Amino acid sequence: MLYQRTVTLEETLSLILALLTKEDRKKKEAKEEKDELSSIPPIPNAMAARLLHMSTRQLQRMRRRYQLTWIERGREVFYHLPPLLKAIRRLNLKWSEAVLEDIKSK
């Protein structure tokens, strides 16, 4: 009886340990992805609009509501990628995976 309880406890502990290591691995991967995305320089206005399937004028109107950060260099506007992705997740916006992969590859 005591042996069975010991074996059950060992199995439970091994399952808990496996779950904890899995969570740690997920956190590390998320952090690495976040670091990777934050290292990408700001993207041009047209590319950000293509990512969100909208025109550049629509994007300009929506940037405060989506809480996007942007930089103006002369007449050009550039958007930071992490706030764009955060808005996509938070507001369930339509977006293009192909454009995102294109951004990451550059």
Tens of pLDDT along the chain (106 residues) come to 777 888 888 999 999 999 999 998 888 887 777 777 777 899 999 999 999 999 999 999 998 899 999 999 999 999 999 899 989 999 998 999 999 888 888 7
Residue 62: per-residue pLDDT: 92
| DSSP 8-state class, residue 54 | S
Q: Is the Cβ–Cβ distance between 53 and 62 less than 8 Å?
A: no
**Domain extents in the chain:** 1-39, 40-105
- Give the C-alpha separation, 99 to 82, whole Å: 14
Q: If you count them, how many residues does the chain have?
A: 106
**Residue 44 DSSP SS3:** strand
